[in-house]
Structure 1
Amino acid sequence: MSKSNRRTFLLDFEKPLCELESRIEQIRELATENQVDVSDQIQHLEEKAVQLRKEIFSTLTPAQRLQLARHPRRPSTLDYIQAMSEEWFELHGDRAGDDDPALVGGIARLNGRPVMMLGHQKGRDTKDNVARNFGMASPSGYRKAMRLMEHANHFRMPICTFIDTPGAWAGVEAEKTGQGEAIAYNLRQMFSLDVPILCTVIGEGGSGGALGIGVGDRILMLEHAVYTVATPEACAAILWKDSGKSEQACEALKITAWDLKDLGILDQILSEPVRGAHADPITAANFLKEALISNLDELMQLSPQQRKEQRYQKFRNIGKFTDLAANGQLQLPSENETNGKSYHHIEEETSSSHFLSY
């Protein structure tokens, strides 16, 4: 990315680094104009910039990683597909009368192997974002995705999905046309597909909109991407009635790749260029391509039945349940405090006395 573009989309935590790099550039220009040798000073400042860059990007908070995941110049699904594949032919339509531009897909050739690639597609500017509905897919988008995946399954092509959405479109029209049903159908059907499925979170993975194409044999995630049950702003508005507490929500939601790896949700964290994927999209695409090829080579060694069984067990094992009452960690209310109802009566009404850690 050029220096002018970098400054245009500069994030708050990048300002000290940008100022230091500007000083280095100014000193270099002045030295050239005045024919003065300042190579030692420039080398010292460049070493300082390298160290500062490492410090900033190795200690990012969850809220700062969310900023990177939402960066306007972050590579999109189509960017990665075009950079990784030798051939690409986009397919359109859900065969029910609509074609959602917020979710794209088609046949590609990855390292000589035919694959089906599909994912959420955000826009590059305001006009494009409006056309793409900011990457928030409608029911027709998820039905198109399922049509393409069933096509891939029929012709024995592996499937690669790319997740990058704040969530499924929550408009009235989406509800009228069956948003929940479309996502639920995808969840069920993806478990039954015979071919390998790789799902990669490349930016912002939000809510059911992400899960609608997120059931796979392997779940990969770029290191500055996020994956969450709801946007931090929505979570803060629900829990604290204040969307301004989104930073607090970022911490509580465990949205980073390392949090999700610790929780057993992710299989692999993929490295990005030091400043993020938007700083060097080609390198980021190469990292992703290597990971996809490696994982596909491993999955192709398994039989369809083995893949489906592992896929099922993988998602069954996500989430740890603890009976706090049985462990003595939960103080049960007295019958007076529950209007005479026993704890077991309350348990039956609520269907569960368990708490889910994620």
Structure 2
Amino acid sequence: MGSSPRIAVDAMGGDEGLAVMLAGVARARRQNDGMRFLLVGDEAQIRAGLEKHPNLSAASEILHAPEVVTATDKPSQAIRRAKTTSMGLAIDAVKRGDAAAAVSAGNTGALMAMSKLSLRTMPGIDRPALAALLPSLGENDLVMLDLGANTECDAQNLIQFAVMGAAYARTVLELDRPRVALLNIGTEELKGTDEIKDASTALRTATYLPMQFNGFIEGDRISRGEVDVIVCDGFSGNIALKTAEGTARFVGDLLKRAFTSSLRSKIGFLISRPATELLKHHLDPNNHNGAVFLGLNGLVVKSHGSANEVGVANAIGVAAKMVRADLARRITEDLDNFKAHIGPEVAEA
């Protein structure tokens, strides 16, 4: 798609509705004049919404979809309606080459199921993984995967996730050799399941890959900035993600309660407001929005369902950046490199 990628947007997905989705797309358009869009959803509603965003109309086409995938739809139900829903048609646009990537804030399970069925996995990838950026104390955000696409993973899955996560970090974080670690219950080599230990053995020998394997990392070190990519199965990753999000809200609520408890506290809040605003910005999920299904023959980005226009624009920006960097090619090259160099003892394991 060159320097002007065309992004298919599920305009009807998300908790906040069409107005917020269009506002986010318009914001992404202002941030990059060359970006073009395929807006998928109810045509009449989209045309009415575009009246508030004249800068977006000239850069967009509308693909009518009579139905919407709801938050309560099961993946099997969504798959049966893939040809009539805004989510399904946005994914199909990527498959047909009418768009370079698809962005949706809708039902995560349905998006994963339809994406996998329509686009299939890349050669050498057994399962796709959901990857997202999380805030950290380091110079950059960190990439974590899998965050819920696969509840159980073997060593081969974890190795593939590590290769894909490193390629993603090189693209989005612009790192030459991302530091990669496996999430585990301890940092000692003897700890963890057989799958995690076997994956660690293989990755320790892969010194030729454009990444630095740092072994194991525990949950309390996730956001310390010690690594750039954290790899785990989807069950552990989803729990870790939801725990981190809940902790961030808990800290925010505690600060709010403390600063409103007395007159002295309110004065203290006014003095410390620049610091608290910085903390709020750092923990705001909209500033890190845009999870990616890695390992598919096409790019699909999941926006948080409750994302505001800033979050939607960031998700679209992630999609555009991956298109321009040709992320699929990077993943394929790294996997081929891994297979070409793998030793017989590791292959047997």
Same fold, TM-score > 0.5, yes or no: no
Higher relative contact order (CA 8 A, sep 6+): 2
Structure having the higher Rg: 1
Task: Give TM-score scaled by structure 2 length.
Answer: 0.30
Task: Give TM-score scaled by structure 1 length.
Answer: 0.30
